[in-house]
Structures are given as structure tokens and as C-alpha cells.
Amino acid sequence: MAKISSETEFTVYDLRVECVEINGDAEGSYDVGDYFEVHGENLVFPEKQTFPIYALSALIPLLPAKQRESDSNDWMSTPVKVTDPDPDVDGTFEISRIGERTVTPKSASDGE
């Protein structure tokens, strides 16, 4: 369970975003099973796998919220499904929590 561990650290979930369904023509864009992960603040793509920017634009706003702890009754606590905004592709992506990590942010006083 993600939680605040001290005044200078906090815990976030790592995520996996995976294509779970395609109902249109995704030729050259992505296939069912294609995925990327979010480790802390970084997007991590498997080697030689691409990802369309339009689908990414629908997913990005949800990722920080999904990384944070949420109430068990909150829909963010379940695997979240998001549809590609391209109506010709009509792909569905699932955002799942796959692990936790502790983050120690750098403050302005650290010179960063």
C-alpha cells in the first residue's frame, strides 16, 4: 500500500499500460499485448517497441493519479481502462499498478 513514509519521502506505484483490445485498424500503430511501464517519473518502453503519440495523449493525464494511493472504493484503485482517441483504431489500454517505489524529491534548497 502506497503511503507517506516521512516528510522528505513518499511512495508511488509503478504502472503498466497495456493494449488489451483493438476493434479497428491499428496497422503499424500497436498490437494487443504491447505495453509500456511507468517507473517513478519515467516512461519505460520495451526494446524496439513504439507507441503512438495520440494514444499516449489520452493516457498521460491519468498516470500521476494512478500512481498515488487512493481509497479502495475509488475507481483509480482498480485496473483502469482507457480508449485510444483515434476512432479508426479503437484500441483499449489497461493501466495497472505493478509495484511500489519510495521517492525522495529534491527541494529548491538543494540547488536543483
What is the spatial distance between Cα 65 and Cα 19, in angstroms, rounded to a whole number?
Answer: 19
Q: What is the distance of C-alpha 88 from the center of its chain? A: 23
Domain boundaries, the chain: 10-102
> What confidence tens digit (pLDDT) does each residue in 43-100 have?
999 998 888 888 899 999 999 999 988 888 887 777 788 988 888 888 899 999 999 9
Reported as a pLDDT band with limits 50, 70 and 90, residue 25 is confident
Rounded to two decimals, the pTM is 0.80
Q: 22, 33, 21: which is closest to 89 by C-alpha? A: 22
Q: 74, 70, 81: which is closest to 18 by C-alpha? A: 81
Q: 88, 71, 77: which is closest to 13 by C-alpha? A: 77
Residue-level length of the chain: 112
The distance in angstroms from the start CA to the end CA of the chain is 30
How many helices (H) and strands (E) the chain has is answered by: 2, 5
| Number of Cβ within a 10 Å radius of residue 112 | 7
